[in-house]
Amino acid sequence: MAEQQNKNRYSIIVPTYNERLNIALLVFLVFKHIPDVDFEIIIVDDGSPDGTQDIVKQLQQVYGDDRILLRARPKKLGLGTAYSHGLKHASGNFVVIMDADLSHHPKYLPHFIKKQVETGADIVTGTRYVKGGGVHGWTLMRKLTSRGANVLAHTLLWPGVSDLTGSFRLYKKSVLEDIISSCVSKGYVFQMEMIVRASRKGYHIEEVPITFVDRVYGSSKLGGSEIVEYLKGLVYLLFTT
């Protein structure tokens, strides 16, 4: 099993916007937790005005530009297109997508990889809503909003996974390419559409419990407009999947 794991290469796609205070620590933790894994980190920065790209360039000097790839875009163009952009530059046969704000702790990466190797899953997704998973640092209102959104989506869509709106996942590259080509949503709805379409296509999905930690540095990019888009996306998926 170890030999099989070592033959794989993992491309970790991290979209960023104003993550200067987080990106160096994230990269350090990735290298710390999967030292014996063949991986690259692809940072897709959407023209951050806070100097995120300058920090990434410094990280390239430390870790090498073959391990840290900066694939910048001129402005904010949406989360879904950020993954598509990163995917074009991925050399691995597996792709990990994760947030830059440390809400997705790299300590879970070995668990994702182990689960995939053991089960042969097409997708391994982190979940807050099974035993061993959870959230930390959220207000009661945000917990209720997230749980309500998840329950509503489950009731309408029956996706077969416990956490629809999570965005910490490992994909076989070929599977991600297939799914992403059929998705039309942008922003936070994109994550939900990805996993729903994967389920409808019959892909093998496994889950790993994670604790989602609210960002320590910077401000959340989730607002009222994203919640409205989520509800619109839910209705769209109800009638198209």
Say whether 46 sits in a helix, a strand or coil.
strand
Q: What is the pLDDT of residues 38-91, one digit of tens each?
A: 999 999 999 999 999 999 999 999 999 999 999 999 998 888 889 999 999 999
Rounded to 5 degrees, φ, ψ at 8 are -85, 150
The token pair that represents 115 in the structure block: 């689960």
Range name among 15-24, 71-80, 109-118, 231-240 with the lowest pLDDT average: 231-240
Here the contacts of 229-232 (C-beta below 8 Å, separation 24 or greater) are 229/186, 229/187, 229/188, 229/189, 230/149, 230/165, 230/188, 230/189, 230/192, 232/189
**Which whole number is the average pLDDT over 216-225?**
55
Supply the pTM of this predicted model. Answer: 0.84
The set of residues, in sequence order, having a beta carbon less than 8 Å from that of 13 and lying 6+ positions away, is 42, 44, 82, 83, 86, 87, 90, 95, 96, 97, 98
Of 130 and 63, the structure prediction assigns the larger pLDDT to: 63
Pairing label, strands 9-16, 169-172: unpaired
Rounded to 5 degrees, φ, ψ at 166 are -70, 155
Q: What is the pLDDT of residues 88-114, one digit of tens each?
A: 999 999 999 999 999 999 999 999 999
Q: Binning pLDDT at 50, 70 and 90, where does residue 156 land? A: low
Q: Binning pLDDT at 50, 70 and 90, where does residue 1 land? A: very low
Pairing label, strands 38-45, 68-70: parallel
Of 145 and 44, the structure prediction assigns the larger pLDDT to: 44
**Which whole number is the average pLDDT over 178-182?**
91
Residue 225: Cβ within 10 Å count: 9
Residue 238: in which H helix or E strand, if any? helix 224-240
Q: Binning pLDDT at 50, 70 and 90, where does residue 129 land? A: confident
Q: Binning pLDDT at 50, 70 and 90, where does residue 3 land? A: very low
Q: Which DSSP state fits 73? A: B
| Average confidence score pLDDT of the chain | 85
The set of residues, in sequence order, having a beta carbon less than 8 Å from that of 115 and lying 6+ positions away, is 121, 124, 206, 208
**Which whole number is the average pLDDT over 140-163?**
66
pLDDT at 225: 64
Q: Are 101 and 213 in contact (CB under 8 A)?
A: no
Q: Report d(CA 128, CA 209) in Å as an integer.
A: 6
Q: What is the CA radius of gyration of the chain?
A: 17
Looking up tokens 């320590």, which residue turns up?
A: 216
Q: Report d(CA 29, CA 25) in Å as an integer.
A: 6
pLDDT at 92: 97
pLDDT at 147: 62
